[in-house]
Amino acid sequence: MKRMIAVAGLALSAGGCVSTAEQTVSYSCADFIGRPISERIAAFGPPRSVYRITPTEVGYVFETKDTVLVGGETYYTVNYMIGADKHHLPVRTLTTKCRGFVVRAPSPATPASERIIVNTL
């Protein structure tokens, strides 16, 4: 009887270590800050408009959405009585709408690969 209680206690204590809560996976337009605008032009195509905000900043307006599939990661639950079970998180779509980006461009001759995103619109 003591052995069964010990096994049940061990299983319950180990069960508390397994994370079953699904974490929300998301990203925002702000994740692109610090990257060159040429990456966004390659992903979204040419911008709808480009305008100078200040002498050193240029705004790019894209009006686009980016949809990706997230999830599907594998996780395991352990039951010491019967073994480990393999599970998969559900796959879902994540849509991010970025209206535009503000980049640092000290001169009009600066190439797009050197224009770094400093803010989002």
Concatenated DSSP letters of 21-44: SPPPP---GGGGTTSBHHHHHHHH
The pTM score is 0.52
Residue 86 pLDDT > 70: yes
Predicted local confidence at residue 5, as pLDDT: 56
Region of poorest pLDDT, from 54-58, 67-71, 76-80: 67-71
Integer distance in angstroms from the first to the last C-alpha of the chain? 66
- With tokens 């803010």, the residue in question is 119
**What is the Cα Rg of the chain in Å?**
24
Please state the domain extents for the chain: 26-120
For residues 110 and 91, is the Cβ–Cβ distance under 8 A? no
Residue 100: pLDDT band by 50, 70, 90 thresholds?
Answer: confident
Region of poorest pLDDT, from 14-18, 31-35, 78-82: 14-18
Mean pLDDT of 12-32: 53
